[in-house]
Structure 1
Amino acid sequence: MLKIGEFSRLSRISIRMLRHYDEMGLLTPDHVDEQTGYRYYQERQLTDAGRIISLRDMGIGVQAIAEAIAGDEAALERVLRFRRTQLLSQSQAIDEQLTRLESALRRIGKDVFEMNYEVTCKTLPQRYVASVRDVLPSYYEEGRLWHTLMKETAPLRLQVAEPCCTLGIYHDTDYRERDVDVEVQMSVKGTYEDTEHVKFKTVPPILMASATYTGSYEKVNEVNAAVAAWVRDNGYEFDGLSFCIYHVSPHETQNPDELVTEVCYPVRKKAERH
């Protein structure tokens, strides 16, 4: 048998963590001397310690490690798949942050905060659309909805309307850090039966104030400020959910500087309030 110090050295787990794992029931000593309180481990427990270290180094928490070790292969697979999903989500967020950072670096010294955006007031006509709506972990994951829309409608051979209007609508009345309610729409011709997640519907006309800009999505705050100023100065008020029309989307270019987005806010004349 091995004293706790020897086991710590061989397992590469600190004595503090060994005691913590004992408290959690994750890795308990084989024997504890009743008189001295000394803890002893069996050599075979080094294998269990190795599994714990491997899972810990993947960023898996103690509770999940306990579930993986105590269960069968199915439990281990479930824990690993869940962690993979977490890491993929984090990776997407990091990629988005890196894209924003690179774009900001390129724009240094180019009057990046000068808001020369032309705001117009117009009516978006009535449309027949294919729509997918869901609650997402973050705004950055809107692509999931587009993937679902395209995958489920592929057998339907949709006829795209001319011009084709693709947009994302944000159904929350305030900004959310997570669990965001997002809907994507693509205008189509003809009529179709709903699929599991895709709904077909007619959307009424929308009077809106909008501004179109070229570049990465990090510019949206500047555009929002320009639209808000226009609404204030022209006697309008906001009247509905904001949305973005994607004239050139990430589906068409991987270069954020080539994106073309129209930021839209439904409005009405203040005098028209009843």
Structure 2
Amino acid sequence: MNAMIFKKMSELTAEDMVALWNKGFEGYYINSELNLDKFLSRAVNEGLSLEHSLVMFAEDEPIGFVMNGFRSIEGRKVAWNGGTGIVPAYRGKGFGKQLMERNLQLYREQGVETALLEALVQNEAAIHLYRSVGYEITEQLICLERTDVLEASLQASENAGRYAVHRGHPAVVKGIPFYRPMSAWQTQWASMKGGESIIITEKEEVVGYALCKRVYGEDGHLATTVLYQCESIPGHENEGDILKAALCEVFAPFDSSCKRLAMNLRQANRDLNKLLEEWGFTSFVEQLHMSRRI
């Protein structure tokens, strides 16, 4: 195989970036096509660096890319693969592995200690590729949705009065001992642009938290509520009630017919997922969270 040429994503025109993104995700399991506005918005909202994202060229033709984001988490530099794509005509020929190996070299050059990514469970080829360059599966993730009103009776709880609720900036969760800093990239507090934290306390002790975001339509009405993390203090005898108290705050008002989403929740958080299923949420995407030490 001939050695490929690699350039920065920032060296492409905006139109060429979008064209390459859409070509790289052609035939993907989920429709990932973007226009220019949505591509640029995604880059900003997810903290993606066009300067440190790679494009692979065969002669003068771009044939693949990796979008990268970087942030410091608990004193460690962490990188996230925010999208890898290969143009259809070049798939299955080893170019993906060459691209990933060059991207790992870029991570080393940038002083990255840990690399993260997510892959759809159905995308066996991508999972095999990531494993071949040293990524390991750390957890399974689930995305759920509900698109109609919630029954008011779901709010009932014997222990509801035991807990106080505090809303604040997403960064507040950093100080919670059981906060999960290495969760999926988009669920970390630093990705919550325009979002908020919901802190549940019992006798002034933090016993639960949630990270969420609300999106309003042009008419000013609530259009979508998205839950990104929801955790209770490990070992608490009333874990279910703590989670329920947080969810009631996240998804209020119950009589709103807005779309309600829960994105990239840990499948291992069974109490939370069971509660959401009881509330009528259904799964629409499952992913694998993968990690690699650099």
Q: TM-score, normalised by structure 2?
A: 0.24
Q: Which has the higher helix share?
A: 1
Instruction: State the structure with more CA Rg.
Output: 1
Judging by fraction of residues, say which structure has more strand: 2
State TM-score, norm by structure 1: 0.25
